[in-house]
Amino acid sequence: MGKSIDSIFSPVSDKISKYEALLKQSLVTDSPFIYDITSHLFSRAGKGLRPGLIFLSAGRHESSNAVYAAVAIELIHVATLLHDDVVDQSEMRRGIESVNHRWNNLVSVLMGDYLFAKSFGLLVKSNSQKLLDIFSAATERVATGELNQVYFTGNFDLQESDYLRVISDKTASLLGCAAEAGMICRDGDSKTMEAMRKFGEYLGMAFQITDDLLDLIGEPTKTGKQLGSDIREGWVTLPLIYAFQNGGRGHKSEIVKFYKEPFAPEAFESVVNFVKESGGIEYADMKARAYSEMAKEAVAGIPGIDYRDYLIELADFAVTREK
């Protein structure tokens, strides 16, 4: 069994404590309503993947900018989840009610906007043009990925290349930003920053493909999310893309009918069985592991990395986790 995320981030636990303190401070508000929402939203901590990656990338270098960047990237990430939950009509997030389900879609969207504004306020405090540049570019890519996912939703002839482009923008861009931000905070050169960005992007691809697998075959008590959210939304992920291309046209037409009807447990079971029998689970797992290996190769070639072994363990964690 692989290492836990906490053990992977153990060498930067002191910096994570500073991040948690600034995050809490950043959420202070005189609005009782906003306080209620943020208290609910942050009552269950996420993996802290993006902040932890910033600190591992920055290494032993001490920088207040790394803490600003860590809080900013977590706020951006949570803001995208708030918007995503509205698009997906999700009812659960991190094992608790999603904001759109507890309140409504309008509150979820506006809360996401609020967190975006907070995040860029923190980046301004860093007084780093490089950080502002990469964060603004990554945030634009996240929005591009979300929009393209909406465009492709309901397209049952979606090509693998289009799917990969969407998740590269929607997920991998922010992890690439985190890895590069850490290197900026330790004053790395442009070549090293680019190599770390590639590490983060490959890591993000591995994480997202694994997430899409867990949406089909995960354990809800561990993932904290309902299974089949992609199917309910009509978004065709890599396991389905492969299955549609290799499982026979007759089977495909039957599965497409499940997408177009009200979601039912027996329909979901049929979809999962179809994907398994068509080799979609194995193919997506192989693809995720290939990106994990690419991430490890990217970081192996970067000189002077303080926590190289932990970054490699993070790449392994991306594809061996259960949540």
3-class secondary structure, 248: coil
pLDDT value of position 11: 96
pLDDT value of position 249: 65
* Cβ pair 311, 276 in contact under 8 A: no
Residue 287 tokens read as 């693809």
Question: What are the pLDDT digits (tens) for 75-122?
Answer: 999 999 898 888 777 766 767 788 898 888 988 999 899 999 999 999
Place of tokens 């905070």: 185
Which of the residues in the chain have pLDDT under 70? Answer: 1-2, 91-92, 94, 220-225, 248-250, 260-263
Short-list 23, 30, 19, 96, CA closest to 58: 19
96, β-bridge pairs: 93
pTM: 0.92
Domains for the chain: give ranges and CATH numbers: 5-315 (1.10.600.10)
Residue 148 tokens read as 């393209």
Residue type, 293: E
Phi–psi pair at 47, nearest 5 degrees:
-70, -20
Residues 6+ apart with CB under 8 A from 72: 119, 120, 122, 123, 135
Q: What angle do CA 142, 148, 154 make, to 5 degrees?
A: 135
